[in-house]
């Protein structure tokens, strides 16, 4: 070791950090879903809870593999899925109510309001969502509402932004101008340091 120059020490240090930063799939998924790691942000307004989760491309790919395994099917399009996942910035917005298992029925006064809320979260909300990165404001490219249909009390709104730059340097600020319940602006701030701290996982 005494014969190593400064470059040699730096290279060894890099190898040690690279090795210790790799985790298995279970550890990786656990890290992504822990609020203390800064990738999960929860806001409670009135009787509604909004739990917003940043989902990196690797997590989405692993999730799709798990679905294929559970369905006992091989995914012949995995290459395309990996490419698509890396071209998007994705968030899962999990919404629940402490008054009803279906958040769309929370404080419902007339049945017509239910269908207005359903239509809003199924389509109209897309135009009310944006993502700020440094000086750029990205429009939302797609949303998809996964309803719970009585299983659990959370519904999940999947939110996607096309990422042409891919190598983003700054913080991410997700903005939602919520109109179904007239909640106004919901803002979820994701620090670049927390995103950069996500451990590596082998796909």
What is the extent of the structural domain holding 172? 6-201
What is the 3 state secondary structure string of 83-115?
HHHHCEEEEEEEEEECCCCCHHHCCCCCHHHHH
Give exposure, 119-140, as e/b (b: 16+ Cβ within 10 Å). ebbeeebbebbebbbeeeebeb
pLDDT digits over 87-103, tens only?
A: 899 999 999 998 888 99
* Inter-CA distances, 112 with 10, 26, 103, Å: 65, 44, 15
**Domain membership flag for residue 1:** no
Segment 38-58 mean pLDDT = 96
> What pLDDT does residue 1 have?
47
3-class state of residue 180 by DSSP: coil
In terms of Cα–Cα distance, which of 44, 175, 187 is closest to 106?
A: 44
Q: 16 vs 189, which has greater pLDDT?
A: 189
pLDDT category at 74 given cuts 50, 70, 90 is: low
Q: Does the pLDDT of residue 135 top 80, yes or no? A: yes
pLDDT category at 64 given cuts 50, 70, 90 is: confident
Q: How many domains does the chain have?
A: 1
For the record, the structure tokens of 62 come out as: 């692993």
- How far apart (Å, rounded) are the C-alpha atoms in residues 54 and 92? 7
Q: Which residue has the tokens 């451990």?
A: 199
**Domain membership flag for residue 50:** yes
pLDDT digits over 155-189, tens only?
A: 999 999 998 776 778 999 999 999 999 999 999 99
- What percent of the chain has a predicted confidence (pLDDT) above 90? 59
């Amino acid at each position: 070791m005494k014969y190593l120059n400064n470059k040699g020490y730096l290279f060894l240090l890099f190898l040690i950090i690279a090795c210790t930063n790799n985790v298995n799939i279970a550890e990786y998924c656990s890290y992504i879903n822990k609020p203390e790691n800064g990738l999960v942000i929860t806001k409670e307004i009135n009787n509604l809870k909004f739990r917003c989760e940043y989902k990196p491309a690797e997590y989405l790919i692993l999730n799709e593999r798990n679905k294929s395994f559970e369905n006992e099917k091989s995914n012949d399009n995995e290459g395309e899925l990996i490419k698509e996942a890396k071209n998007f910035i994705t968030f899962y917005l999990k919404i629940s109510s402490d008054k009803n298992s279906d958040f769309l029925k929370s404080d419902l006064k007339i049945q017509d309001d239910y269908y207005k809320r359903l239509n809003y979260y199924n389509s109209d909300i897309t135009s009310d969502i944006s993502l700020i990165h440094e000086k750029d404001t990205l429009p939302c490219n797609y949303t998809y509402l996964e309803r719970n249909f009585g299983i659990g009390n959370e519904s999940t709104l999947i939110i996607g932004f096309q990422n042409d730059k891919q190598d983003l340097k700054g913080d991410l600020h997700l903005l939602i101008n919520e109109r179904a319940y007239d909640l106004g602006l919901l803002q979820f701030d994701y620090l670049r340091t927390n995103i950069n701290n996500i451990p590596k996982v082998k796909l």
